[in-house]
Amino acid sequence: MPLNSYTYKALNRSVGKALHHYDMISDGDRIVVGLSGGKDSLTLMWILKERLSRIPVNYDLFAVYIDPGFQGGYSRSLENYCENEGYELRVEYTDYGILGHSEKNRENPCFLCSRLRRKRLFEIADELGCNKLALGHTKDDIIETLFLNICYAGEISTMIPSQTFFKGRFTVIRPLAFIDEDLIRRFAKEQNFPGFINQCPSARVSKRHEIKTILKMLYRSNRKIKGNIFRAMSNVNNEYLLK
C-alpha cells in the first residue's frame, strides 16, 4: 500500500496526535507491544515500527502474544507472519482462557482471562527491562469500556490513552486511542493483514459484544453520536452528577 494513501495519512495523523497529546513515547523507551493477532494490534505494531524510520525518536519494540490455551490456536501462524514482517515475537503459552471459562468462573470469563494476560504482560515487560506497554485499543474500545463500566460495574470510568502503574514503573499507552475501528478495518484490508480466527468461545457472546451491537445501532441513527460520546469523557460537568 502506498504511504501517500488517504487511509495511511489518516492513521498516521491520529497516531501522531495521540502520541504528542499524551507524551506517550520518549527517546530510549523499551516498549512491549501486546499482539493479539487482531487487526488493531497488527496495525499498532506496523505503525510504531514504520515511524522509527522517519522520526528523531528512537525506541525498541518487543512484540508479545499471550496464547490463552484454546485448541486450534494460531500461535505458529502469528509467529510466521511476524518473522516475515521482521518482528521478533515472543509467544507465552498459558491456560488463561481455559481458566476463565472453567466451572469456577462462569459469570465473567473475559475479566479473569484479561486480568491474567495483563499481569503476564507486565511480568514480561519487567523481564525485558521495558518501561512501556503498548496496547491496540481504539476509540471504539474506549467508548465501549465506558458503557461496560456504567452498565455492569456501576461506575463512570474507562481505559485512558496513557496510564502509569506500580508507582510509575510501567506506563500503558494506547496510540490508537483517537482512531475509529472503521479506519483500522480499511487499513488492515489495504495492508493485506492475515485473518487469525479467535477460538475463544466468548468472542461473539461477551458483554462487550452486546455493548458494541447497541452502540452500532446508535451510531447508525446519528453519525455525530460517537464523536459526542468520546468528547463527553473529557468534558464532565461534575455539578450535574449525583453525589
**According to the model, what pLDDT value does residue 34 have?**
97
Q: Are 40 and 204 in contact (CB under 8 A)?
A: no
Q: How many angstroms separate the Cα of 71 from the Cα of each of 67, 136, 197, 199?
A: 10, 24, 12, 7
- Using DSSP, state whether 120 is helix, strand or coil: helix
* pTM score, whole prediction: 0.93
Q: How many CB atoms lie within 10 A of CB 94?
A: 16
**According to the model, what pLDDT value does residue 106 have?**
64
Region 6-240: CATH code: 3.40.50.620
Tell me the CA end-to-end span of the chain in Å, nearest whole number.
52
**According to the model, what pLDDT value does residue 3 have?**
67
**According to the model, what pLDDT value does residue 107 have?**
66
DSSP labels for 46-103?
HHHHHHTTTSS--EEEEEEEEE---TT--HHHHHHHHHHHT--EEEEE--HHHHHTSG
**According to the model, what pLDDT value does residue 113 have?**
84
Residue-by-residue pLDDT tens, the chain, 243 positions: 456 689 999 999 999 999 999 999 999 999 999 999 999 999 999 999 999 999 999 999 999 999 998 888 999 999 999 999 999 899 999 988 888 777 776 667 778 888 899 999 999 999 999 999 999 999 999 999 999 999 999 999 999 999 999 999 999 999 999 999 999 999 999 999 998 888 877 777 788 889 999 999 999 999 999 999 999 999 999 999 998
